[in-house]
């Protein structure tokens, strides 16, 4: 960690709070020469944002001159390495109040207390937050990121209008509002929320679906892996249909108590039952059907008796 770079990064204005957090994380990992090579996923985990957001913010930091990105190649192949080399160039960046903003002219005088010829600065004494005008360039790029988050690309013009309306209501800057929506969409898609992959972007925005309770992410892939590992001679799973997901979801919430180890024990038990591994060779769908679970346990008790 370079304390000098951390201090410099803290003083800089990058125009976005999450982008500032990503920059601070890079400075935290950097050597005194400004070099670091954390993966995008590591940065995402540490900053508690999505990998997609990290990539977008780092590209913006590169564009604004805060860093350079060098793609690294593996030593034993021509393939790119898992992480890039980031070189922070904070010494080249101005510590002015804001990116692209205008500093007061040197030697200019502040208005005298009690009035003067110069107009007094606008001050709001209301408890209501001041709604600053939305910069079109920022909102357009933020919307483009939202548009590519994974929902069906239907009705772009209406979705853009709905995005701007909800952006203004959110009292957030455009990039952080897009980050909020993208992380929510990615979570719901990863959790295979029923019907969400068919939800139109305009509907998502108008109904403020990001405020809905997020579904639990069930480790379907690891459950299937456990099935294959413990029942290698049974029918392999080539696709996880909606019906199979439904059965696994029920067992995960009702019997497994949200523990993957329960499935390991269940599949090991099934492997020990000859009638499930003979000519019948039950597949994953049959074994996890809630209606068959009592038959499996009752037959085992009858055989033991």
pLDDT confidence of 146, banded at 50, 70, 90? very high
Class for the domain spanning 3-92: mainly alpha
**Which whole number is the average pLDDT over 99-110?**
42
pLDDT confidence of 93, banded at 50, 70, 90? low
* Contact predicate 153/197, CB 8 Å: no
107 vs 33 pLDDT, higher one: 33
193 vs 123 pLDDT, higher one: 193
**Which whole number is the average pLDDT over 11-33?**
88
Residue 227 clears pLDDT 90, i.e. is over it = yes
Question: Would you list the domain boundaries of the chain?
Answer: 3-92, 136-211, 220-304
Mean pLDDT of the chain: 79
Instruction: Write down the pTM of the prediction.
Output: 0.43
**Which whole number is the average pLDDT over 45-69?**
88
Residue 30 clears pLDDT 90, i.e. is over it = no
pLDDT confidence of 279, banded at 50, 70, 90? low
Residue 60 clears pLDDT 80, i.e. is over it = yes
Provide CB contacts within 8 A for 273, sequence distance 6+.
Answer: 296, 299, 300, 303
């Amino acid at each position: 960690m370079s304390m000098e770079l951390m201090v410099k990064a803290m003083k800089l204005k990058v125009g976005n709070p999450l982008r500032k957090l990503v920059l601070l994380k890079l400075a935290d990992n950097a050597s005194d020469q400004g070099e670091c090579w954390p993966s995008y996923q590591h940065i995402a985990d540490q900053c508690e944002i999505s990998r997609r957001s990290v990539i977008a913010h780092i590209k913006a930091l590169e564009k604004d001159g805060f860093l350079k990105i060098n793609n690294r190649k593996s030593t034993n192949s021509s393939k790119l390495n898992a992480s890039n080399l980031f070189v922070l160039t904070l010494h080249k960046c101005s510590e002015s109040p804001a990116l692209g903003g205008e500093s007061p002219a040197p030697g200019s005088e502040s208005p005298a207390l009690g009035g003067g010829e110069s107009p007094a600065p606008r001050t709001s004494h209301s408890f209501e937050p001041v709604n600053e005008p939305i910069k079109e360039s920022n909102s357009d790029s933020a919307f483009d990121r939202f548009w590519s988050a994974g929902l069906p690309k239907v009705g772009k013009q209406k979705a853009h209008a709905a995005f701007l309306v909800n952006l203004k209501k959110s009292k957030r800057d455009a990039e952080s509002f897009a980050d909020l929506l993208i992380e929510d969409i990615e979570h719901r898609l990863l959790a295979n929320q029923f019907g969400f992959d068919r939800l139109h972007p305009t509907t998502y925005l108008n109904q403020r679906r990001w405020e809905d309770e997020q579904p639990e992410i069930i480790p379907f892939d690891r459950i299937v892996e456990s099935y294959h590992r413990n029942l290698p001679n049974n029918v392999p799973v080539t696709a996880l249909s909606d019906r199979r997901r439904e059965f696994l979801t029920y067992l995960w919430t009702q019997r497994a108590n949200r523990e993957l180890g329960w499935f390991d024990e269940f599949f090991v038990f099934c492997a020990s039952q000859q009638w499930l591994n003979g000519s019948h060779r039950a597949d994953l769908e049959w074994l996890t059907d809630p209606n068959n679970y009592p038959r499996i346990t009752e037959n085992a008790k009858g055989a033991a008796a």
